[in-house]
Each structure stands twice: as C-alpha cells, then as structure tokens.
Amino acid sequence: MSRPDLTGNLAATLDVVADAAGGLADDWWLIGSAAMALAGVSDLDPPDVDLLVSERDARRLIGVWGAEVAPPSSSDLFRSKIFAKAGVAPLPIEIMAGFEVRTGDGWRPVRPRTRLGIGGVFVPTTAEQVEICRLFGRPKDLARIEALEALAWR
C-alpha cells in the first residue's frame, strides 16, 4: 500500500525509519499518532514516531542511530523493557521493546496481531489501532477512535 501524501517532518522521519528498518530481524510496527496519520487520520500533527520492535532489533537500532537509552520508566500506565529516543530525524523516534500497558488485570504486552505495509513502514490495521486506543484509555487516545473508525480501510 502506498503512503498517503505526507509532507514535512513526519514524511522525512518515516523515510529514516524505513531506511533503517530494512535490516531488522523481527516484525515491527509504528503505533500511536504516526500510525494513525498513515491510516488517513488527517487532523494529527505527530510530535514523535513510536516504533515497536523486538529487544534484539531495539539494540540494533540503538547502535545504528546512537539512540539515548532511558532508565526504566516510573509511569503508572506504560513500561518497556527497552526504551530509547533517537534524534536522527526531524521528529524524535521512540524505540520501544517489551512494551506493556497496565490494565485492571495487571500488565499486558502491546504486540499487534496485524501488520500492514504502507510506503516502507508497517502499522496495525485501523481496527486494531482502535483496540490499542481503547486499551490505553487516555482521553487523547479515546478521542481518536471515531476518526479511526470512520476510515474506509481496516
């Protein structure tokens, strides 16, 4: 599937991700607002690109990009076994491996089941992006559900 007509910082950052991700060993995805923009949600201006990868691919990208590894997060909602920020593109790229969200039943891994290729990068289907928004449950995530559900492709 071809990439929507994205311009500016997001398009340039996605090009950096696509170039580096060609050497990854395991499945990977963009999630969050960048994935939603790729799906066609037009009123978003992603502040960063969230890249969900395996632990070995996270280590590879950290080395390739010289990314800054963050100490374990104290967030009550999210945690990652590996979390790093790469400043190699116009937008920060957040590398997450072993990413989990806290639910009423404890910590739950976030690992999409679907994987759509769009212009050299991968995202979950819009239906699964809706599930992820519901799982995260933050006001900003819940507010994006209607826009995702209105999209023609799933």
CATH number at residue 56: 3.30.460.40
| 130 within domain boundaries | yes
* 3-state SS, residue 103: strand
| 154 within domain boundaries | no
Model confidence band, residue 43 (pLDDT cutoffs 50, 70, 90): confident
Structure confidence at residue 3 (pLDDT): 57
For the cut 90, the answer to whether the pLDDT of residue 25 exceeds it is yes
Alpha helical stretches, state H, the chain? 8-21, 33-39, 55-65, 126-136, 139-149
Instruction: Report the percent of the chain where pLDDT is more than 90.
Output: 79
Mean pLDDT over all residues of the chain?
92
| 59 within domain boundaries | yes
| 2 within domain boundaries | no
Nearest-angstrom CA–CA distance, 115 and 117: 7
Please indicate, yes or no, whether the overall pTM of this predicted structure exceeds 0.85: yes
Q: Which of 5, 96, 2 is nearest to 48 (CA)?
A: 96
Chain-centre distance for alpha carbon 57: 14
- What would the pLDDT profile of 48-107 be if each residue is shown by its tens digit? 999 999 999 999 999 999 999 998 666 899 999 999 999 999 999 999 999 999 999 999
Structure confidence at residue 75 (pLDDT): 84
The number of distinct structural domains making up the chain is 1
| 143 within domain boundaries | yes
Structure confidence at residue 1 (pLDDT): 58
Give, rounded to a whole angstrom, the gap between the first and last alpha carbons of the chain: 12
For the cut 80, the answer to whether the pLDDT of residue 132 exceeds it is yes
| 132 within domain boundaries | yes
Which of 34-43, 96-105, 127-136 bottoms out in mean pLDDT, i.e. has the lowest?
Answer: 34-43
* 3-state SS, residue 73: coil
Q: Which domain holds residue 14?
A: 8-149
Q: Cβ contacts of residue 150 below 8 Å, gap of 6+?
A: none
For the cut 80, the answer to whether the pLDDT of residue 123 exceeds it is yes
What per-residue string of b and e applies to 83-115 under the rule 16 or more CB within 10 Å gives b? bbebeebebbbbbbbbbbbeeeeeeeebebeee
Instruction: Output the furthest CA–CA distance in the chain (Å, rounded).
Output: 41
| 140 within domain boundaries | yes
From the number of C-beta atoms within 10 Å of its C-beta (0-12, 13-18, 19+), residue 28 rates as buried
| 1 within domain boundaries | no
Instruction: Report the percent of the chain where pLDDT is more than 70.
Output: 93
